[in-house]
Structure 1
Amino acid sequence: MEPDGRPLGRAWTGVRAVDVVDVFSYLVVLGLFIQVFPAVISESFLVALLTAVLLKLVLELVLAVKKRIVARIRNSDRALIRVVNVVALLLVLPGSKFLVLELVDLVFGDAVHLGGFFQVTLLIVVLMLVRGGVRRLVIR
């Protein structure tokens, strides 16, 4: 711990060790997808690393939105509010994949191509599974 009570290494960045582990896990998964799926393309290692950082940021945002919607579903006493939030959750799930595709295209243009909707869906599922597995394995 730092003298002011913050964990070591967070004195100036605000980046947690778990965030770095997530980005490296995402980079490995992205690298595997680049090797396995011809539709998934990254021009260089640096671009793949930056894509992994972008994926980390977007997926953290999407997870926060999903958690908030699920909390509203659980805490609601009214059926109409639950139905509206379930519909919102059903829109966020596929919408997050389109968000990833559009942001990657916007930020990296032709330097990165993640394939189509189904490749991105599979990529995100694998990213979440690897993230959970690595966190269980490394962070206790």
Structure 2
Amino acid sequence: MNITIDFGNIWDALSAIGTIGAVIVSLWLATKEEKVNFSVELSSALGIRENNSVDETVYFFVEAMNKSKFPLTVEEVGFSYTKKSKRLGLLDQRYLIEGSDTLPTKVESLETAKYIFEQDKVIELAKRTFGENVKIRVYIRDTTKKTHYSKKFKI
């Protein structure tokens, strides 16, 4: 018994492989554009008043840039010890300094939301909650319930 398998024309096979590859690439590109992406930075600085004098109070400056292709809304800003730990959610405006964006904040694509906190108040609250000599990070939670974190900051 002699069995012969006919695979057909090589060009038909290459055409089928190319079609499957094109579908995979198009699906990857379609889902890539819909990813939620915030870049969160935490820095510490002295304040400058309207008359250009230096304020002796040290502030935490939080900058959240929307790197998504669509607008997102920031629902919550706060601090945490680790990504899985208890959070210091700062839902009310009493911790934010004048000049900060309000909560919730709609952030357009490639725009930035800015939040300013008095460093001493945040550190005092963090030490009471997390303990001494810890590193904290700021987090931003958007309306999709995704949480975005900054790098750690030693207090």
| Range of TM-score over shorter length | under 0.3
In terms of Rg, which structure is larger?
Answer: 2
- Under a length normalisation based on structure 1, what TM-score does the superposition of the two structures give? 0.26
- Larger RCO (CA within 8 A; separation ≥ 6): 1
